[in-house]
């Protein structure tokens, strides 16, 4: 059994004076697999059209996510549906207070919040490499 994850979000886009949503893949070109790395599974996955290679530190062997990294990928992949923007409100001081949504799982990983673009920049590691991921939030009151 092989589980595949492709984290996606419905990103908020400002267009024509209003906000709309467009689906974005958070890690373009990557599909994360949860499988036992056996010869049988390797050749089964390699036979899938479009699979170029397994990525690993030496280019030959697949990388393994740490337990924490795997949990982050599972959270970002949701339940197979694109993530909805996190809800947020502006405080009287003009700060963004995040509510429910994916960003509530990464409070210590948020590096920047941009009210204008309605995006929070989250820093995570994937296979030990730092990744910067923009995630949308929806301001409920302005």
pLDDT over 60 at 19, yes or no: yes
- Taking the C-alpha atoms of residue 44 and residue 65, their distance in angstroms, rounded to an integer, is 21
Rg of the chain, C-alpha, whole Å: 17
The CA-to-CA distance between both ends of the chain, in Å, stands at 47
pLDDT over 70 at 55, yes or no: no
Picking from 47-56, 118-127, 132-141, which range would have the lowest pLDDT averaged per residue? 47-56
Averaged pLDDT for residues 56-66:
68
Q: Give me the domain span that covers residue 132.
A: 3-139
Position 132 scores a pLDDT of 96
Position 29 scores a pLDDT of 86
Going by pLDDT thresholds of 50, 70 and 90, the confidence category of residue 65 is confident
3-state secondary structure of 105: helix
Q: Taking all residues of the chain, what is their mean pLDDT, rounded to a whole number?
A: 88
Name the domain count of the chain.
1
Cα–Cα distances in Å, from 51 out to 48, 91, 109, 133? Answer: 6, 47, 31, 24
pTM of the model as a whole: 0.84
> How many C-beta neighbours within 10 Å does residue 43 have?
9
Q: Which of 27, 21, 30, 31 is nearest to 136 (CA)?
A: 21
Q: Is 86 exposed, middle or buried (0-12, 13-18, 19+ CB in 10 A)?
A: buried
82 or 127: which leads in pLDDT: 82
Position 57 scores a pLDDT of 57
46 or 107: which leads in pLDDT: 107
């Amino acid at each position: 059994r092989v589980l595949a994850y492709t984290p996606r979000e419905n990103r908020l886009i400002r267009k024509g004076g209003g906000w709309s949503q467009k689906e974005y893949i958070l890690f373009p070109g990557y599909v994360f697999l949860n499988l036992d790395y056996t010869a049988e599974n390797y050749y089964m996955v390699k036979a899938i059209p479009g699979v170029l290679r397994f990525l690993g530190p030496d280019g030959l062997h697949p990388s393994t996510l740490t337990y924490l990294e795997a949990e982050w990928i599972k959270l970002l992949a949701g339940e197979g549906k694109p993530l909805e923007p996190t809800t947020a409100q502006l405080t009287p001081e003009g700060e963004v207070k995040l509510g429910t949504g994916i960003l509530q799982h990464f409070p210590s990983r948020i590096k920047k919040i941009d009210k204008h673009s309605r995006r929070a920049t989250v820093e995570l590691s994937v296979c030990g490499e730092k990744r910067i991921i923009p995630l949308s939030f929806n301001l409920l009151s302005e």
